[in-house]
Structure formats: C-alpha cells, structure tokens
Amino acid sequence: MDVRGIVAELFAPSSSRVGIEAEFFTGLPDGSRPSFDLLTPLVTEVMPAGGTITLEPGSQIEVSTAPHGTAAAAATALRADVAALIARLDGLGIAARGAAIDTDRPPERTTGEERYRHLEQELDRFSPAGRWMMTNTCALQINVGGGQLTGQTWRVLNRVGPLLTAAFANSPGVDAQGRWWQSLRQGCWLSMDPRRAAPPLARTGDRVDDYLAYALAAPRLFPEPDGLVFGEWLHGAAEPRPARADFVRHLSTLFPPVRPRGWFEIRSIDMVPVDVIEVVALTVATLVEPDVVAEVDRVVQTVPTAETAAMHGLRAPDCQRAAAALFAILAQHDSSGQIGSFADDYVHQGRCPGATRPDEAQMLMPPLSA
C-alpha cells in the first residue's frame, strides 16, 4: 500500500475556496440532550443555501456550508442555513445554543455509532478531556483551499494557530485543578493524546512525510482500539494487514489544529457569536492569500505556545503583541475594514469575544492534564 501517496492526496489542491462549519449545542425543554433518533432526520434536509447538516456525538449539530469564492459569501450562506435549521429545531421543541463549551451538563455520548464508541474508548486511555471534547465542546471550523495549499501556507497556519485561538477565544473557565483557561474548549484539546490532536512535528522539511509520520504514530481505532499504532499494524504487528480503506479511515480519526483534506481545515477556533463568524472566516481567508502568508511568514516569527494562548489569550503580553502584528498585516489586505475593526475592538484592547473575569467562570469538573 502506498501510504505516502495517500497522504500526498490530502495536500493536492482542490476547487474549494472558503467554507465554514459551525457547531451548536442542542437541548430539550428539560435541558437534556435530544436523542440521535430525533435529530437524524435533519441530516437529510435540504438547506436553503446548499449547506449540509451533520451530528456530533453529544447531540451537537453542525452546519457546513458549500465552498464559496469569498468569506463573505460563505458567511451569508451560513446565516441562511442556520436560520432555517433553528426554525426546524424550534418546530421539534429543541433549542440550539451557539457556545464553545457546555459546563451545565456532564459529558454524555448520545450515539452508539462504532466510530464514536471506539474513539471514546481510545481517548479515555489518556485523559477524561476526550469525553468533554466529544460531547461538550463546539468549534468554528474554517476551510480554505483552491490554490492556497502551499508548503508555506501549511507552515504558517500551524505556527500562528495559537494566535487565532487567543484572538477568538470564547470559552472562559476554570478547570478542576484551579487553572484558568481563556479557551477552555481548546484546553480540552490540549489535554488529549497528542498523537491524535497535536500539530504534526516538522521533522523532515517535507509536509507529506511529516504528516505521514504523524498518522503512522497514532493509535488505530479499527477494528478495535487496542493501543496498537497504525505504523505497527502496517508492518505486520496484527493480522489481517490493513488495506487502503483502513488507512483512509484512520486519517479521518486524526484531529490536528490544521488538517489537510484537499483543503486545509483550521480547527483551533472556538464557536463564536454569529455576528463574529464572518470576521473569523475573513481573517483566515485573508491569511492564506499568497502575498499575505508570505508577509506573515517574514514578520510574525515569535508566537506563544498553544497552551499559553488557550490559557491566557490576549491577556498574555507576548500573545497580544504577536496577534497585533498578525492583524495589522491582515487589516492592510482587507478592503471591507472588518478585520481592522475587530483588531481595534478586541486585539488592541487585549480582549476576545469571551472576555470574562476568572471569578465569573464556571468550573469544569474533570482535571485536565496540560
């Protein structure tokens, strides 16, 4: 099996340009989670702007736009599809809530699908944070593609990812160890098995080889999560040996902050209020323009760690300085003025959409191991 060739396909440019995936928590009138049986019919609904509906393991519901030529077009489509979804949920007596973390309900997987049963079992080997990630967090994912999938773009997106986490953090909270997180949602991700959720290490200078090494070092979920990493399975540690379909499926169980799929998925951003979504999409879409990413690569060299960004956000001076430098570049290339306005209102003030004092935050019960 040509596993390197399969990984190389993930970095091949597609026709996609900008897409948005927004997740929402759902709840019944008594606050409990709707069953998958109740939500599943929504998956087949035709959305007015061409988006699709998928379900997450804690009964979160995700709206994914079709790819669009601009961030503004994608955001307009998302608003139309979200409005239609909320109206449909209202008719079923289900409330949708746009937030990045749910600290009101304990983690509960509401689906028996094999994929999620196996994922929960594997994540539990490392920390309780995996269950929280699966069932009690919501992200805003921005997908960018087209001709932007260069090695430089891959490198820069992975480097400045913590700045995007900090600038758009919207899940303030304190974990059970008493540690403050500006993005508690990202804190969950950082507390999971890094073999499945951390950025791939840049070891070889070749992004395909680096991502292949990352994939082969991650534990398999199928046919059973048994601690065996895929590379060991590939080289004969268990029978039957994996087929192409097994490796492709394995790749879909990796969740790095930037994931290649023929486009780049930026996965390190909290779900934010709907009126902020367009500026998030515009920020990422502007960042990956070839001239912009080259300038960012030259200018923004020192960034905080992912942990610093998630815990302290723009309150950390080094994080705010780096974010200010990044947004200054992006604002110069944004004719709409939205990025500059966001920077003035938030970045330069050391604020983010979820700016809350630590003593106002709720407690996340299981300890997170950073």
Residue range 209-220, pLDDT digits in tens: 999 999 999 999
Q: Structurally, how many domains does the chain consist of?
A: 1
Q: Is residue 228 part of a domain?
A: yes
Residue 138 is part of which domain span?
3-349
Handedness of CA 192, 227, 261, 5 (dihedral sign): positive
Exposure b/e, 308-318, CB count within 10 A at least 16 = b = bbbbbbbbbee
Is the pLDDT at 177 greater than 90? The verdict is no
**Which pLDDT tens digit goes with each residue over 70-105?**
999 999 999 999 999 999 999 999 999 999 999 899
Residue 318 and residue 367: Cα distance in Å, rounded?
Answer: 27
Q: Is residue 361 part of a domain?
A: no
Residue 85 and residue 296: Cα distance in Å, rounded?
Answer: 37
Q: Is residue 365 part of a domain?
A: no
Q: Which of 5-19, 69-83, 115-129, 248-262 has the lowest mean pLDDT?
A: 5-19
Q: Is residue 362 part of a domain?
A: no
Share of the chain above pLDDT 70, in %: 95
Which pLDDT value is given to residue 179? 85
Q: Is residue 360 part of a domain?
A: no
Q: Which of 83-87, 142-146, 223-227, 343-347 has the lowest mean pLDDT?
A: 142-146
Q: How many other CB atoms sit within 10 Å of the CB of residue 12?
A: 10
Q: Is residue 367 part of a domain?
A: no
pLDDT tier, 269 (very low <50, low <70, confident <90, very high otherwise): very high
Apex 108 CA angle, 103 and 111, nearest 5: 140
Which pLDDT value is given to residue 355? 74
CATH code assigned at 341: 3.30.590.20
Residue 137 and residue 102: Cα distance in Å, rounded?
Answer: 6
**Which pLDDT tens digit goes with each residue over 31-68?**
999 999 999 999 999 899 999 999 999 999 999 999 99
Q: Is 202 helix (H, G, I), strand (E, B) or coil?
A: coil
Q: Is 361 helix (H, G, I), strand (E, B) or coil?
A: coil
Which pLDDT value is given to residue 174? 82
Q: Which of 307, 279, 323, 308 is nearest to 71 (CA)?
A: 279
Contact 169, 182 (CB under 8 A): yes
**Which pLDDT tens digit goes with each residue over 6-33?**
999 999 877 768 999 999 999 999 999 9
Q: Is residue 364 part of a domain?
A: no
pLDDT tier, 147 (very low <50, low <70, confident <90, very high otherwise): low
Q: Is residue 357 part of a domain?
A: no
Q: Is 364 helix (H, G, I), strand (E, B) or coil?
A: strand
**Which pLDDT tens digit goes with each residue over 337-364?**
999 999 999 999 999 998 754 444 444 4
